[in-house]
Amino acid sequence: MTTASVLALSPAQRRRRLAAGLLRALAITVILVAVYYVVPLDRLSDVPLWLTLAIGLLVLATVASYQVKAITRSRHPALKATEALAVTAPLFLLLFAASYFVMAAADASNFNAETLTRTDSLYFTVTVFATVGFGDITATSETARVLVTVQMILDLIVLGLGVRAFVGAVEVGRQQTNGGPQTAANR
């Protein structure tokens, strides 16, 4: 479907397509959060944290790469990009939340809180991502501080390069849907 044919849809049809895309994005996010709460993270206590994190980041990179390709091939690249963000952003945050949860369970001295629940770990991850860092939960060990620093650096990369990759994929997808690169004459 070209941009012209999308514009030929009635406003109600466009709203329905947008609503369906947003509902899919919401459903994906809810499923990822539910999985985070039920997956048996306590079984990871014997696996080195760096290995778990490396595998998680590899999975994240693979998912993001797949999403970029899916955006470029989609008939509705902007909607697909919304869904892609609904997968990759929560996956990124949940990866670090799981890491912090496992780290706190392995050694309570990694954080200033006596114990970190999954919700505490997710909350801490989001405050680091949002750069608000309320200070109620802080990394106290050197290992925990290194991991938080890695998250902060990756936050900047995800926000900069990740969003740019999705936006670029939307542009490529629109060009392919419209039959080629946009020129001044056919914009």
Listed by start position, the domains of the chain span 14-39+47-177
- 14-39+47-177 under CATH 1.10.287, yes or no: yes
Segment 70-116, tens digit of pLDDT: 989 888 888 888 888 888 889 999 999 999 999 999 888 999 998 89
pLDDT tens digits for 103-155? 999 888 999 998 899 999 999 999 999 888 788 999 999 999 999 999 999 88
Look at the block and give the residue holding tokens 């509902």: 23
Give the per-residue pLDDT at 6.
Answer: 57
Helix (H, G, I), strand (E, B) or coil at 139: strand
Give the orientation angle of helix 118-129 with respect to helix 77-106, to 10 degrees.
120
Show Cβ contacts of residue 69 under 8 Å, excluding neighbours closer than 6 positions.
169
The confidence band for 1, taking pLDDT boundaries of 50, 70 and 90, is very low
Query: How much is the pLDDT for 186?
Result: 38
% the chain with pLDDT above 90? 40
Report yes or no on whether pTM surpasses 0.85: no
